[in-house]
Amino acid sequence: MSTGCDPAAAAGTAAPAAAAPPAAVDRLASILPPQLLQDGEAVLLLRKPSRWYILLAPLGFFVLVLALAAAGHRADAFLNQARMSGEILTLAATLLLLRLGWQTLDWAGRVYVLTDRRVLRVQGVIRVSVFEARLSRLQHTGLFFSLRERLFGLGTVTFSTAGTGTVEAAWLFLHEPLEVHRLVLETQRRCGGGAAGGNTR
């Protein structure tokens, strides 16, 4: 049964910055597992998290390591005349660099895709995880802004499908989150046979 979806019209509802570039399918093929896109499926949006994701997502870990390093340095100065200060700083720097490297790999492996049939989220460093939901199954979408995201003009779009009632996937740390969310809702209305409920925080 035809949904009456016009991919060109759906893509035309997006601002130029949100629409998939001409080379989107080729770029997608280099990131997504083979055969993930279906025959005739049109890519309307291809996004990754902002590069700020690399620093902001593990911010709590960074603060914890720095706090422990500072506490360790003070304890070493009080109990051991700062004989291990160099080792403490080296350990802290190593942990921060390792986490930063891992977060960079995590960012590189994340991609968010909107097609004329589905929404997809691909993530993973060692093991790739793929979330996909047909537009007709989307029950609810959410738009959230954490403090860290608000400071940098970013936001997160979440997805729930019929029968779950919980957030199943999220597009994190997006540039232009309002425009992305609007495009998802408009594409769902045009191509999914309905409209998902939306929520903004």
Q: Do 95 and 115 lie in a common domain?
A: no
User: Under a CB-based contact definition with an 8 Å cutoff, are residues 144 and 156 in contact?
Assistant: yes
Q: Do 65 and 140 lie in a common domain?
A: no
Q: Do 119 and 165 lie in a common domain?
A: yes
Domain of 141?
Answer: 7-49+111-200
Q: Do 124 and 190 lie in a common domain?
A: yes
Beta-carbon neighbour count of residue 56 at 10 Å?
A: 21
For residue 166, is it within any domain? yes
For residue 61, is it within any domain? yes
Alpha-carbon gap, residue 95 to 85, rounded angstroms: 16
Print pLDDT tens along the chain (201 aa).
444 566 555 555 544 445 555 565 566 556 666 677 788 888 888 899 999 999 999 999 999 999 999 998 888 777 777 667 788 889 999 999 999 999 999 999 899 999 999 999 999 899 888 899 999 888 889 999 999 999 999 999 999 987 767 889 999 999 999 999 999 999 998 886 655 566 666
Alpha-carbon gap, residue 22 to 43, rounded angstroms: 10
Q: Do 124 and 100 lie in a common domain?
A: no
For residue 2, is it within any domain? no
For residue 120, is it within any domain? yes
Percent helix, strand and coil across the chain, each rounded to 5?
45, 25, 35
For residue 22, is it within any domain? yes
Q: What is the CATH number of the domain that holds 156?
A: 2.30.29.50
